[in-house]
Amino acid sequence: MAIEDTNISSALDIVSFLEQNNGKLIINVAVDAVGHTLAEFDNYARMRLTGELDPEGTHLYMGPDEERAKTIASLYGEALFPLIFLSPLAPEMVRSIALFRPDLTVDVGISSSKVAPMAGKTEIVEVSSDGYTSYRTSIQGLLDDTTAYYRRKLATQDQNPLHRQLPLIEELEDFIDAKGKPLALIQIKDEESSASPEASNAETYMPALEYLKDQGYHLVQVGREHHPQIFSKFGVVDYANCPLASFTNDFCLFSNASVCLFGPSGVSYFAEIMEKPFVLTNSWWIPAAPFSAKAVIIPALAKSRSDGELINFRDQLNLQLNSSVYFPIEEYEIVNPDADDILAAMKECLELDKKTQPLNESQQDFKKLAANTPSGLSLSRVSADFLERYKQLL
């Protein structure tokens, strides 16, 4: 249903509409971050599947009139949202309703940033120079939200509400020029982020890219990062920086992918929702590993600057749970996986896609370490070769 088909013209009208139609206002979707956009809309959809939200209720999504929100609305429409309203004014209206009628809202966010105080979650309240108040949860609040999301994914794992089989537009298909070969989508992080304090080293990708090329895959760079010149050795198509790069075409590409290799980026959620096998490398944030059973992880490690020693996985986990989402660069040095680690993980991922294998003993031990975090609920696994190499850290 479009907003034009209702009598809604103000925040008060929205309140009345939600009350009369057993609806909720969907809040805390971060459309400025691709991983959050995908995960948080998926979280909302699974709330409907589990019955936490009335599947027949006329729920409302209000968001900015920008590319990602418009793409989600276009691709999923009423199948996901009974009612959609996109406008530059929408975020402020959402904020007002969330502040004064929280009972009419549903928090689908899995980040620490919230549009209004969340009962039992809000830890930090800040007032900016322009007079706006922002609200943040603790690390534990963030993990609690993610844990709840993963529990919903477990309960509904036989369903995937965001999965779509989408055709490539002719212009994009011509640009990629795959000639019928299976697609391997490659993303490399070229700047620091919450998951890693440094950019990924393109050299460490090369053996895995060569292996994929030898296995008959056609390589395409996705995301929006710069294109490493070294990638030209294996003919990696630079979709990431071409005029066709768009959120809509991202969905189309991932819908048609066979396997993916990611740096520490929310772009990996495309592979999650499209049920594609993937390797995620260089992320130090191990309490919230990808959920997918088709994901193989190679985490970054932390080396103490005081004694030059790698800290063990349990200490790294505790460090994360008691600090922030950002790597403590003053006290520790990041140690990213090397080329051999990434190659071994890619081989494991491709074998896993052919036939599901049970976790080995080291993988089970790692899972036990994270039992009280979202990673303990996830179906992904840390690379077996990586854990063998660093078994002393278990």
Q: Are both 44 and 110 inside the same structural domain?
A: yes
Residue 254 maps to which CATH number? 3.40.50
Task: Point out the domain boundary residue: 126, 155, 184.
Answer: 155
Q: Are 329 and 197 in contact (CB under 8 A)?
A: yes
Domain end position, chosen among 88, 121, 155: 155
* Residues 212 and 249 sit within 8 Å (Cβ to Cβ): no
Same domain as 348, residue 309: yes
Regarding whether 267 and 196 lie in a shared domain, the answer is: yes
Same domain, yes or no: 55 and 177 = no
Residues 249 and 328 in one domain: yes
CB 203 within 8 A of CB 230: yes
The domain of 232 spans 170-393
Residues 121 and 194 in one domain: no
CA distance 33 to 38: 9
Distance (Å, rounded) from C-alpha 148 to C-alpha 168? 34
For residue 70 the two structure tokens come to 């418009």
- Please report, in tens digits, the pLDDT of each residue of the chain (394 residues total): 556 566 777 889 899 999 999 999 999 999 999 999 999 999 999 999 999 999 888 999 999 999 999 999 999 988 888 888 899 989 999 999 999 999 999 999 999 999 999 988 888 898 888 888 889 998 889 999 999 999 999 999 999 999 999 999 999 999 999 999 999 999 999 877 766 778 899 999 999 999 999 999 999 999 999 999 999 999 999 999 999 999 999 999 999 999 999 999 999 999 999 999 999 999 998 999 999 999 999 999 999 999 999 999 999 999 988 877 788 889 999 999 999 999 999 999 999 999 989 999 999 999 999 999 999 999 999 999 999 999 999 9
- Between strands 133-137 and 113-114, the pairing is antiparallel
State how far the Cα of 156 lies from the Cα of 140, in Å rounded to an integer.
Answer: 24
Q: Say whether both 364 and 240 belong to one domain.
A: yes
165, part of any domain: no
Q: What's the total number of domains in the chain?
A: 2
Place of tokens 């019955």: 51
Phi-psi group of 311: left, alpha or beta (phi > 0 → left; psi -120 to 50 → alpha; rest → beta): beta
Using the 8-state DSSP alphabet, how is residue 309 labeled?
P
- Do 11 and 114 share a structural domain? yes
Q: Specify the pTM.
A: 0.95
User: Same domain for 125 and 237?
Assistant: no
Q: Per the domain annotation, does 123 fall within a domain?
A: yes
Q: Mark which of 130, 155, 180 sits at the end of a domain.
A: 155
In a domain, 269, yes or no: yes
Report how far residue 65's alpha carbon sits from residue 86's, in angstroms, rounded to the nearest whole number.
Answer: 5
Q: pLDDT value at position 325?
A: 77
332 in a domain, yes or no?
yes
Q: Could you tell me if 279 and 388 lie in one domain?
A: yes
- Rounded to the nearest 5°, which phi and psi values hold at 85? -140, 115
Instruction: Tell me if 163 is assigned to some domain.
Output: no
Tell me how many helices (H) and strands (E) the chain has.
13, 16
Q: Are 231 and 367 in a shared domain?
A: yes
Q: Is residue 241 part of a domain?
A: yes
Measured in degrees and rounded to the nearest 5, phi and psi for residue 201 equal -95, 115
Same domain for 181 and 144? no
Assess if residue 161 is contained within a domain. Answer: no
**Separation CA 97–CA 186 (nearest Å):** 41
